[in-house]
Amino acid sequence: MHILHLSDLHIGGSDSLSGDSNKSSACTLRCETVINNIIAGCKPVSDYAVVITGDITDGGTVFSSGGIKKQYADAAALLKKLHKAGFVVLPVPGNHDYGSMGVHPKKKYGKLFREMLLDNYQGAYPILGKAKNPGLIKKIAFIGLDSMEAAITRDYYYGAQGKIGDPQLKRLKALLDTDKVKRADARVIYLHHHPFSPEPNMELHDAAELQAAIKGKNVDILLFGHNHNGWKWNGWWDITRCYDAGTSTRKGGSAGYHRIMDPAKDHSTDYDGDFLGNLKSFVV
């Protein structure tokens, strides 16, 4: 099975953070291009899981709940195109999905993420596979984390920081110890916040605790976004594949990748689908 990693789509956002919520933004239009090219170029669709590591909406061009709801509606419509085409789509939230500018998180927007992008899933994170149909996907354990779950507190109220929290980490450890996950062909953990390279006001506060929770658990792939750098961190924490997708809609001209990987093959075979480029420029 191929894994296609996207992140930081910022649907509803413009490159200048001054977009009009009533019009299609630059990031929304580029996201539509990416999704259309994925549908056109990735065959058979049953062989692909699209992992999206947060900041799916921008949450920053407007400060009203109505504006953010429109961004969620646009995001839901775009992801629905992938669903209808037959792709497995596995999203987790980022700081922008939780509210205005990505620095004023509110729990109500986390609930909106669940309602509109996770088919009204009301269970706990981590999520194993599909939210509404948990389990392995073609013998691969996809484990999604919410790195904003414990971030909405007095300590982290302002800023783009993240925190997974002890309860979620405890559940993650228990999940990794289940026979089902141990016997999987590969274990993929994905979240929004960057666990290795903290930047001021953007760090994952319990990165060390996450490392401890997954140490020795044979995690094969760790996927994330947030920093918009798009760097490879392969080998960190003794994990073969560690990828920052950057911003897949190239928000603000930042780096962005559409990395495709096959866990059954060596990481040297991973490549960038370049779904914002010419369809003839890549081979799937």
What pTM value is reported for the model? 0.93
- Fill in the amino acid letter for 80: K
Beta strands in the chain (DSSP E): 2-6, 48-53, 88-92, 127-130, 133-134, 140-144, 186-190, 221-224, 241-244, 259-261, 271-272
Tens of each residue's pLDDT in the chain, 284 residues? 999 999 999 998 876 544 444 456 889 999 999 999 999 999 999 999 999 999 999 985 454 445 788 899 999 999 999 999 999 999 999 999 998 777 778 888 889 999 999 999 999 999 999 998 999 999 999 999 999 998 887 566 567 899 999 999 999 999 999 999 999 999 999 999 999 987 888 999 999 999 999 999 999 999 999 999 999 999 999 999 999 999 999 998 899 999 999 999 999 999 999 999 753 333 33
**Nearest of 169, 174, 150, 172 to residue 161 by alpha carbon:** 150
CB neighbours of residue 63 within 10 Å: 12
Provide, for the chain, the percentages of residues in helix, strand and coil under a 3-state DSSP scheme, each rounded to the nearest 5.
Answer: 35, 20, 50
Residues 6+ apart with CB under 8 A from 227: 194, 197, 199, 202, 244, 246
Kindly report the CATH number that applies to the domain delimited by 2-281: 3.60.21.10
The domain limits of the chain are: 2-281
Q: At what angle do helices 65-85 and 107-117 cross, to 10 degrees?
A: 30
What phi-psi label fits residue 227: left (phi over 0), alpha (psi between -120 and 50 degrees) or beta? alpha
CB neighbours of residue 205 within 10 Å: 18
